[in-house]
Amino acid sequence: MNAKAHYALVALSAVLVCSSASAQPVVAAAATEFKAMDSNSDGKVSREEHAAGARSMFGKMDADRDGKVTAAEMEAAHRAIAGGDAAKDELSAAEKIKAVDQDGDGILTAAEHAHASRAMFDKMDANHDGALTPQEMAAGHAAMLKK
């Protein structure tokens, strides 16, 4: 996955896990996401916990439950979860999808989302121990600011 795709997925996950991501700094959003994903409260997010969080996020976006997410569904999920539209300086839903859309059809499938999530995990796992620390997740989110 290229850097743009990584940052698009990080942005997407921060937006959809946080209740008011547009009002929170990106690193604070990472902390909220970390807490939500650390299901066993051991202070780290395993590959499995990260994958479960990604599946949950996809489910929140897939409004019609057809296994695909359109830009309109992604925008609606953002509004519902974050309480408003994305900021003008953020990637549009279509741009986020394009960054991880493997077949170029403009629609995000569950498989494409899962693939991008695995790649994002691998990129954030700086010490390659198979788990993310709060610092690794915060660094991944902070890197998003370097568009």
Q: For the segment 114-138, what is each residue's pLDDT rounded down to a tens digit?
A: 999 999 899 999 999 999 999 999 8
Q: Residue 17 has what pLDDT?
A: 44
Could you tell me the domains of the chain?
A: 3-146 (1.10.238.10)
> What is the rounded average pLDDT of the residues 3-29?
52
Categorize the per-residue pLDDT at 9 as very low, low, confident or very high, splitting at 50, 70 and 90: low
Instruction: Work out the percent of the chain whose per-residue pLDDT is above 70.
Output: 79
Class of residue 87 by CB neighbours under 10 A (exposed 0-12, middle 13-18, buried 19+): exposed
Whether 50 and 121 have beta carbons less than 8 Å apart is answered as: yes
Q: Residue 39 has what pLDDT?
A: 96
Residue 30 has pLDDT above 60, yes or no: yes
Q: Residue 21 has what pLDDT?
A: 43
Alpha-carbon torsion 4, 124, 119, 61, what sign?
Answer: negative
Residue 147 has pLDDT above 80, yes or no: no
Rounded to two decimals, the pTM is 0.78
Categorize the per-residue pLDDT at 76 as very low, low, confident or very high, splitting at 50, 70 and 90: very high
